[in-house]
Structure 1
Amino acid sequence: MSDDRIVVGNLAGAFGVRGEVRLKSFCAEPVDIAGYVPLYGPDGRVFPSIEIMGQTQGSLIARVEGISTKEDADALKGVPLLVDRARLPTLPPDEFYHADLIGLPVQDAGGTRIGTVRAVLNHGAGDILEVAGPKGQTVLLPFTQAVVPLVDIAAGRIVADPPQGSV
């Protein structure tokens, strides 16, 4: 995926049999995702319009132009939806998009390298940094103020205080 595009949601499968989809929005206000069209798939596919039909537990119900059957919706389950970074709001200096963290080095308070951020995960209980360690191991760090006290995008680094035994 290009650095010029940011993931703002993903398709979460069919809702019903007429092509409606469950849509997971990562926007602060979930329905705002419809205002960022056109959205793109990682393969370059364009989704030119989205109509929000309602909500269900944990997702929106939507009609997405180009998806007209249950089979179409199911085939696209899990596909990330991206928007051009230039269309997103400018953030204050102390805020950032998760995509800005990918590739940043992570070190402890003493300056020892823990690894490099590979992904920002969220399985429902909060964000987790997936860090590729220097020996190829994967380290999962809760993305909380206590464990990750400093994210310095300008300096290109993250300082973490990992829980005992996690590194």
Structure 2
Amino acid sequence: MSTVVARIGKPHGLRGEVTVQLHTDEPERRLAVGAVLETEAAAGSGVPRALTVRSTRVHRGIWLVGFEEVPDRTGAEGLRGTRLVVDGADEAPAEDDADAFAEDELVGLAAVDPSGSALGEVVGLELGSAQDRLVLRLADGREVLVPFVEAIVPEVDVEGGRVVVDAPAGLLDLGS
């Protein structure tokens, strides 16, 4: 199983740098210059199977990464949405963060309200600078973003195949 280190966002500047959404507590180690990271991208996207970190820097709180294989902004644009991954077997279990969940653990879980009534299904996890958000597909097909905080998602039961969502009034009405 692969562990996602970061997801590539938009290009920054003209020299092939990209923004990244971090999925690791160790960005300095995982994104060190010279590190080679495997990629997960859409089939046919032309994204290389691995990228070598050329440079990293933090600009206004956002991590910017350049890769040896991507010399310019055009190449960087093609990386948008690509996941940078490492082999999960190389990962030591994070004993200090029992409440951390990987996206692949959450996708497919049933979303229920506190009384156990079905709301829908978890279809994704969006990482944010302030907080992460679960992407739920409701029974009517709409997708909504739910802040992934204990006050709103008080229970995640991966083995039981469900998450409890105690949404404040109106939250589930804000979908697309």
TM-score by length of 2: 0.76
CA displacement at 1:132 relative to structure 2: 0.9
Alpha carbons of 1:122 and 1:14: their partners in 2 closer, same or farther (altered >3 Å)?
Answer: closer
Matching residue of 2:113: 108
Seq. identity, %: 29
**Deviating more after overlay: 58-67 vs 99-108:** 58-67
**Aligned: 1:54 with 2:53:** no
**Deviating more after overlay: 114-123 vs 89-98:** 89-98
Letter in 1 for 2:72: T
Letter in 1 for 2:3: I
Matching residue of 1:25: 22
**Aligned: 1:75 with 2:74:** no
Alpha carbons of 1:72 and 1:132: their partners in 2 closer, same or farther (altered >3 Å)?
Answer: same
Letter in 2 for 1:49: T
Matching residue of 1:63: 66
Deviations for 1:47-80, whole angstroms, at most 9, x for unmatched residues?
Answer: 2421444221233343313112332223323433
Q: Secondary structure at the match of 2:31?
A: helix
Q: Secondary structure at the match of 1:89?
A: coil
Q: Secondary structure at the match of 2:120?
A: strand
CA displacement at 1:110 relative to structure 2: 1.1
Alpha carbons of 1:159 and 1:19: their partners in 2 closer, same or farther (altered >3 Å)?
Answer: closer
CA displacement at 1:141 relative to structure 2: 1.8
How many residues in Structure 1 have an aligned counterpart in Structure 2?
A: 164
CA displacement at 1:16 relative to structure 2: 4.4
Summarize the alignment of residues 15-164 of structure 1 with structure 2, pairs less than 5 Å apart.
15-34=12-31, 37-42=36-41, 43=43, 45-92=48-95, 94-164=99-169
CA displacement at 1:111 relative to structure 2: 1.0
Provide the rounded CA distance (Å) in 2 between the counterparts of 1:22 and 1:135.
34
- Kept after mapping to 1: 8 A contact 2:21/2:128: no
Alpha carbons of 1:71 and 1:24: their partners in 2 closer, same or farther (altered >3 Å)?
Answer: same
Provide the rounded CA distance (Å) in 1 between the counterparts of 2:20 and 2:140.
37
Root-mean-square deviation (CA, aligned residues, Å) is 2.6
Where structure 1 has 5 or more consecutive residues not aligned to the other structure, the ranges are none
TM-score by length of 1: 0.79
